Amino acid sequence: MKLTKYILFASFFALGTTVFAQQEVQVATAVDFYTTEVMSYYPEIDPSTIPDKEFQRGGMLSTKRKKKADYLNQAGESPTNVDPLIQEAGFTRNANPPQVSFDGVVSNVSPPDPSGAVGPNHIVEMTNSVWGVFDKSGNIASGFPKSINDPLGTGNGDPIVLYDREADRFLISQFKDPFSPSGSRFLVAISTTPDPTGSYNVFSFNPNGSIDYPHFGIYGNSYVITGNFSPTGRMYALNREKMITGDASAEMVSLSLPSYSSGTIFNAPQPAHSEGAGIASGPVPILWFQDNAWSGVSNDHMKVWDFTVDWSNPGGASVSAPLEISLGAFDSFIAGTGGDAFANLEQPGTTQRIDALVQVLNFQTHRYDFGTHQSIVYNFVVEPVNNSKISGLRWGELRKVGAGDWTLFQEGTFVDQQDGESVFMGGIAMDQLGNIAMGYIKTGATTHPSLYFTGRKDGDDLGVMTLGPGLIVEGVTSVNSNSRYGDYAQLVRDPSDDLTFWYTAEYSGQPRKNRISSFTIDDIILSVDELDTTASDLIISSTDQKIFNVVLTTETTSDILRLSVYDVTGKRIRYEQVEKGGHNQYSATLNLSDAASGVYIVSIGNAKTKLSEKIIVN
């Protein structure tokens, strides 16, 4: 491994005082790299043959989790006794039933840590033991499921899968951490084609520290990773473009978040994951909420850092001082029971309670660009009424206009209004119309862990989920062996229409079960011909065959469109996003004076369909 350290000196403002900070940037390349065979090369595995396994919190092999349990047992009381943002308003519309709903792959490994990503034609789900590829009707691909170690190599789980829209590739990962920094690894694989049943480029990076509970996000030309890492407040980024092309020299940069205050022994900041049309530009937002019950935290707020890297000079990577955004008062702690700091939430038919995953920013924090503004949505578990041991979900939307700062646009605390039971493990996302969806698990005295969803339409009263809870699947058993549950759930939107949401999460108790389901918030169903090619007019003109004016006239969409130029081999040489202007026109200028002479394809469109024209560059 090649490891280089860079020392950067930066001045920034925090709490009105100028602070001079020293950042150490570490740059490393993969300690191992290989390209796999296609997945049919690896054996299919029968999940029922995998021995039952429990990853105990506070157990003999987990020093970090034991420390977290000790911290939680000694945690101070929050000054917030009743959450001021509890949603009391009723629902204004009923949820449509799920469109597709089927069980994913799982063994009786506790917790299963399900993660799911969706491409145009495939769904990929990973768990702590096995992973699978499905079509959108729920049919599993031939030869699946596979062991999580095929093709990633032996690891310790906490799997993450993402769909990289602009590259049309899948990222799969797990971590390896035998509780020594020298042996820790990020194991990350990128599919070599859009087909996740094909081959993968596999990279192994040494984080030079201890890692746990990683969270991945795609933003610009980086794969960004945060989590429960040591040193505290450490973050990482990987060179996305090199990894997509299978370049073994792909770099990883790591540095610390300035003015980081964990407050708790467990850390779960989240990188923004840009979901939607186009590659995100500018710094990568990294979020982490702060509870005023934590040591050194005076008010409940969200911290937002900006991470910047130019992969032509990775040693110049930097992270800004945190922006602090005040939030409505909340209590992020729910006490455990029976000597188990993680046994928080009630289930029917057993005294065993399950982990609400307190003081964690739930996976993922999605970022969207609507042209007029950018949005980030997030959620985390709170105890709306202190000492009730009933959880709710604090959710929110940050907005950014132009070059301004991120500000709080709306927030609310969602609770179970029907039965007064717990809701937790939320996944939150937005569709292309600005509607918000949130999937979650519900559990309580009368409800086995079950999956639901709610949401709101853009333009509804702020801070309120207006969609009556929609049942995805009802649980039929409770966990009776330990308090571990879920740890991950994932809500993403379908790139085929940017209106359909897919939620992947654990439900029921034992035997362990995962569910993959899809639903919509809006009743609008866009066909694949939403950008009607027969009712649209694309004109590309040039006076010198080097600089081209592109004008698309259409009344059939107002999406932000993607404008790309491809050479004859299919390689994209230009990319930009184009907003709609006056006269129903999208306009752009392409400067191809540095391109070789020849034939090129100009393509413009949205997630549904595209218009293309050939041009000749002289």
Q: What are phi and psi of 608, to 5 degrees?
A: -90, -50
- Reduced to 3 states (helix: H, G, I; strand: E, B; else coil), residue 193 is coil
387: which 2 tokens?
């000492």
For 226-254, the pLDDT digits (tens) are: 999 988 899 999 999 999 999 999 999 99
DSSP E strand stretches across 476-597:
490-493, 500-507, 513-520, 537-541, 547-553, 561-566, 572-578, 585-591
Distance of alpha carbon 3 from alpha carbon 28, whole angstroms? 4
- Reduced to 3 states (helix: H, G, I; strand: E, B; else coil), residue 397 is strand
Tell me how far apart the terminal alpha carbons of the chain are, to the nearest angstrom: 45
For 519-557, the pLDDT digits (tens) are: 999 876 555 456 788 888 999 999 999 999 999 999 888
CB-count burial class (<10 Å; 0-12, 13-18, 19+) for 565 = buried
Contact predicate 14/94, CB 8 Å: no
Domain ranges of the chain: 3-520, 533-617
CB atoms within 10 A of CB 281: 12
Comparing CA positions, the residue from 318, 289, 322 lying closest to residue 304 is: 322
Taking CB atoms within 8 Å and a gap of at least 24, the contacts of 521-524 are: 521/431, 521/435, 521/436, 521/437, 521/455, 521/456, 521/457, 521/467, 522/431, 522/433, 522/435, 522/457, 523/96, 524/433, 524/499
Q: Locate tokens 């413009």: which residue?
A: 604
Distance of alpha carbon 454 from alpha carbon 417, whole angstroms? 12
Comparing CA positions, the residue from 133, 107, 109, 123 lying closest to residue 42 is: 133
Amino acid at 267: N
Comparing CA positions, the residue from 567, 497, 575 lying closest to residue 529 is: 497
CA triplet 60, 62, 67: central angle to 5 degrees? 105
How much is the pLDDT for 390?
97
Distance of alpha carbon 381 from alpha carbon 324, whole angstroms? 20
CATH code of 3-520, in short, is 2.130.10.10
Q: What is the DSSP letter of 86?
A: B
Report the DSSP beta bridge partners of residue 117.
Answer: 124
CB-count burial class (<10 Å; 0-12, 13-18, 19+) for 147 = middle
How much is the pLDDT for 576?
79
How much is the pLDDT for 539?
96
Report the DSSP beta bridge partners of residue 429.
Answer: 437
Contact predicate 106/47, CB 8 Å: yes
Q: What is the 3-state secondary structure (H, E, C) of 123-179?
A: EEEECCCEEEEECCCCCECCCCCEECHHHHCCCCCCCEEEEECCCCEEEEEEEECCC
Distance of alpha carbon 351 from alpha carbon 445, whole angstroms? 10
How much is the pLDDT for 61?
41
Distance of alpha carbon 412 from alpha carbon 427, whole angstroms? 15
- Reduced to 3 states (helix: H, G, I; strand: E, B; else coil), residue 530 is coil
Q: Provide the CATH topology of domain 533-617.
A: Immunoglobulin-like (2.60.40)
Side-by-side strand order, sheet with 115-118: 115-118, 123-126, 130-134, 146-147
Distance of alpha carbon 179 from alpha carbon 173, whole angstroms? 18
Distance of alpha carbon 170 from alpha carbon 189, whole angstroms? 8
CA 12, 17, 18, 21 dihedral sign is negative
Backbone dihedral region of 487: left (phi > 0), alpha (psi from -120 to 50 degrees) or beta? left
How much is the pLDDT for 180?
59
User: What's the predicted TM-score (pTM) here?
Assistant: 0.85
Distance of alpha carbon 240 from alpha carbon 223, whole angstroms? 6
CB atoms within 10 A of CB 153: 16
Asked if residue 99 has a cis previous peptide bond (ω within 30° of 0), the answer is no
Residues of the chain with pLDDT under 70: 1-22, 55-76, 178-182, 263, 524-530, 570-571, 607-608
- Reduced to 3 states (helix: H, G, I; strand: E, B; else coil), residue 544 is coil
Distance of alpha carbon 208 from alpha carbon 230, whole angstroms? 9
Determine the distance from the C-alpha atom of residue 412 to the mean position of all C-alpha atoms in its chain, rounded to a whole number: 20
Contact predicate 499/522, CB 8 Å: yes
